[in-house]
């Protein structure tokens, strides 16, 4: 059974929105190795509609723009959306319905997928996965800066207990933290 692993570039003040505006000065060869190691385990990718729209537009127009395009395009992609969606990007599949139906579909996708199911860039989807006990690991690359504005990973969620799985300090000062949802009653 696959695990869902969400990876985020995040600032010290919890901002995950628009990392293209603040992340790149911290991207080093060492961080590239961390990202590359995660890509090696991925058997599928899960995303929300907005991320899908952005990525599909980019990588269908520029499939070989970087190392990620040739990786993500053939990979099975599941898009959570409550609205109709054009899934013309190779190997994309719409997951829709009410909360219970979508949760059941995601659970089935986990059972049927070999390798981890990756996701990134969608705080709303991560919060939904946590609320439905579907997220297995939260991987954070915490950048040593406060962005000051933007969507935070945990907004209006209440307490979310997590259990530390591992931590590494990268040469850029970025912290690579891996968490799992804490068992109930922890």
pLDDT tens, residue by residue, 111-153: 999 999 999 878 889 999 999 999 999 999 999 999 999 999 9
Residue 64 has pLDDT above 70, yes or no: no
Regarding predicted confidence, which is higher, 160 or 121?
160
- What percentage of the chain reaches a pLDDT higher than 70? 96
Residue 157 has pLDDT above 80, yes or no: no
pLDDT band at 174 (very low <50, low <70, confident <90, very high): very high
- Selection from 35, 32, 45, 31 nearest residue 80 by Cα: 45
CATH number of the domain at 4-181, please?
3.40.430.10
For the chain, the structural domain boundaries read 4-181
pLDDT band at 89 (very low <50, low <70, confident <90, very high): confident
pLDDT tens, residue by residue, 17-53: 988 899 999 999 999 999 888 888 889 999 988 888 8
Mean pLDDT within 173-178: 97
Query: For residue 56, what pLDDT is reported?
Result: 80
Mean pLDDT within 159-174: 94
Query: For residue 186, what pLDDT is reported?
Result: 58
Query: For residue 172, what pLDDT is reported?
Result: 95
């Amino acid at each position: 059974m696959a695990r869902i692993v969400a990876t985020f570039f995040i600032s010290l003040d919890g901002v995950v929105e628009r990392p293209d505006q603040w992340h790149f000065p911290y991207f080093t060869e060492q961080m590239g190795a961390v990202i590359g190691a995660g890509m090696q385990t991925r058997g599928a990718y899960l995303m929300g509609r907005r991320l899908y729209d952005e990525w599909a537009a980019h990588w269908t127009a520029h499939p070989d723009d970087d190392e990620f395009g040739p990786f993500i395009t053939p990979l099975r992609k599941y898009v959570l959306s409550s609205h109709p969606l054009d899934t013309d990007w190779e190997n994309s599949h719409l997951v829709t319905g009410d909360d219970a139906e979508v949760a059941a579909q995601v659970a089935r996708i986990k059972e049927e997928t070999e390798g981890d199911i990756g996701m990134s860039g969608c705080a709303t989807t991560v919060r939904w996965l946590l609320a439905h006990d579907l997220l297995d690991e939260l991987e954070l690359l915490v950048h040593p800066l406060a962005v000051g504005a933007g969507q935070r990973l945990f907004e209006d969620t209440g307490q979310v207990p997590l259990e530390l799985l591992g931590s590494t300090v990268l040469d850029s000062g970025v912290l690579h933290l891996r968490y799992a949802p804490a068992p109930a009653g922890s």
